[in-house]
Amino acid sequence: MEADKSVYIMGLGVPDPKGVFGTTLGLQKKFGSRRVLDMPVSENGMTGIALGSALVGMRPIITHQRIDFMLLSLDQIINNAAKWHYMFGGRQKMPVVFRLLVGRGWGQGPQHSQSLQALFAHIPGLKVVMPFSPYDAKGLLISAVEDDNPVVFIEHRWLHGICGAVPEDMYRVPLGEARVVREGKDITLVASSYMTLEAIRAAARLQELGVDCEIIDLRTVKPLDEKTIIDSVMKTGRLVVVDGGWRSFGVSAEIVALSSERCHGKLACAPRRIAFPDVPTPTSWALANHYYPDAADITAAVGGIFDIPAAMNDLNNRDCDIPRDVPDKSFTGPF
């Protein structure tokens, strides 16, 4: 915002005392109420407002504290934002960032914890970004704001608490480039956002069991970095896709299809998907325990491929009688 006066941010609660989980605290004091503003609870209309301002040279960031509320603005996002550049023959650009938070745990339930990356990734004209590391979160957000296209920027609430080195200066992580988080030779794990963390945990466990995992953090879901995925699968010959989204017709399905089309002869076994079951998110922790896959599911899936019975232990021993609905013990609700 210091670098470019056309950047402004609006969303319900952006300047409020909690500042969207602390992410916008102090911004209004620094940049003023014209560039850092609260807004009426009119998601579709306010999205249109953002788009119109983008047509005359502004670079809006519109923020929703839960991605679910953004569904009210699908008309403006899909009918207008995604198509504007194409349908008017490339005469105009539409630089807008939709910053959306995915809730999880503490009973967020069916309408406060959806993972909609596949929905947006299906729409030509949108870019979909899902950072995992703090470094990437900053670098990707700067790239998203500087991009001349509508970018859906999905932040997972459980990543707000993780730590990592973040330089003070302006740096960019390019959109559309995945990152090999961990090099390995036996199997490729493709993940994104919070599920990258679960994949890293699984890879550490699998190393103990003698399996060397390569982990790809997608960082950008659309446009998809096909080359990095294909290069890795061609090397390892095995693929497990881990997606924090629904299984059917989802990001995991897309990547498995890609591997089938492009790596068929090199695949040593059928690709596997680990994703959410095709049901809405249940609220009670006792039910949610059976909804979210984690590192134990990944370990077990890879163990199944390599026929390592011990890899099933974590899953078999997983205690479903205690809540697993918080990212760590410091988290005591309400959300």
Partner 1 sequence: MVEETIAGLYALQQMRCPVHLCIGQEAVAAGVCAQLRTADYLMSNHRSHGHYLAKGGDMKAMFAEIFGKATGCSGGKGGSMHLVDLTVNILGTTPIVGGVIPVAAGIAFGTVLQNKKRLSAVFMGEAAAEEGVFAETLNFCALKRLPVLFVCENNFFSVYSPLSVRQPAARSNSKLAAAYGIPAHAGDGNDVSGVYEAAGKAVRHIRVHGGPYYLEFKTYRWREHCGPNYDNDLGYRKESDFIKWRKRCPVENYQRKLLRDRILNSAVLEGMKSRISAEIAEAVRFAKESPFPPASDALSGVYSNR
Which residues does the annotation mark as catalytic?
A: 43, 112
Euclidean distance between CA atoms 14 and 109, whole angstroms: 23
Q: Based on CB atoms, which residue is closest to partner 1, 60 or 131?
A: 60
Applying CB under 8 A, among 103, 107, 125, 244 the residue interacting with partner 1 is: 125
Residue type, position 16, single letter = D
Query: Which residue number, 88 or 249, has a Cβ lying nearer to partner 1?
Result: 88
If one asks whether residue 64 binds partner 1 (CB under 8 A), the answer comes out as no
CB of 44 to partner 1, least distance (A): 5
84 touches partner 1 by CB under 8 A: yes
List, in order, residues 6 or more apart from 258 with CB less than 8 Å away. 224, 226, 229, 230
Binding mask 273-292 for partner 1 (x = CB under 8 A): --------------------
Residue 87 interacting with partner 1 (CB under 8 A): yes
**Which one, of 92, 9, 11, lies nearest residue 52 by Cα?**
92
Task: Judge if the upstream peptide bond of residue 223 is cis by omega within 30 degrees of 0.
Answer: yes
- Interface segment toward partner 1; rule CB under 8 A; list 12-20, 81-89, 158-166, 303-311: 81-89
Annotate 46-95 with DSSP letters as a single string: HHHHHHHHHHTT-EEEEEESSGGGGGGGHIIIIIIITTHHHHTTT-----
Spatial separation of the C-alpha atoms in residues 47 and 81, rounded to whole Å? 9
If one asks whether residue 51 binds partner 1 (CB under 8 A), the answer comes out as yes
By CB under 8 A, residue 27 contacts partner 1: no
**Residue 91 sits in the site that holds partner 1 (CB under 8 A):** yes
Mark the segment that binds partner 1 (CB under 8 A) among 17-25, 147-155, 257-265, 293-301: 147-155
Q: Report if residue 149 touches partner 1, rule: CB under 8 A.
A: yes
Tell me the closest approach of the beta carbon of residue 150 to partner 1, in angstroms: 10
Member of 18, 29, 79, 287 binding partner 1 (CB under 8 A): 79
| Residue 219 contacts residue 136 (beta carbons within 8 Å) | yes
> C-alpha dihedral over 183, 188, 193, 196, to 10 degrees?
-60
Measured from the CB of residue 36, what is the shortest distance to partner 1 in angstroms? 12
Query: Smallest gap, in angstroms, from Cβ of residue 72 to partner 1?
Result: 8
**Nearest one of 24, 45, 21 to 35, comparing CA atoms:** 24
Residue entry with tokens 């970095």: 225
Among 26, 29, 30, 42, binds partner 1 (CB under 8 A): 42
Query: For residues 238 and 188, is the Cβ–Cβ distance under 8 A?
Result: yes
Q: How many CB atoms are located within 10 Å of the residue 212 CB?
A: 14
Q: Does 47 bind partner 1 (CB under 8 A)?
A: yes
Footprint on this chain of partner 1 (rule: CB under 8 A): 8, 34-35, 39-40, 42, 44-58, 75-76, 79-80, 84-94, 124-125, 127, 146-149
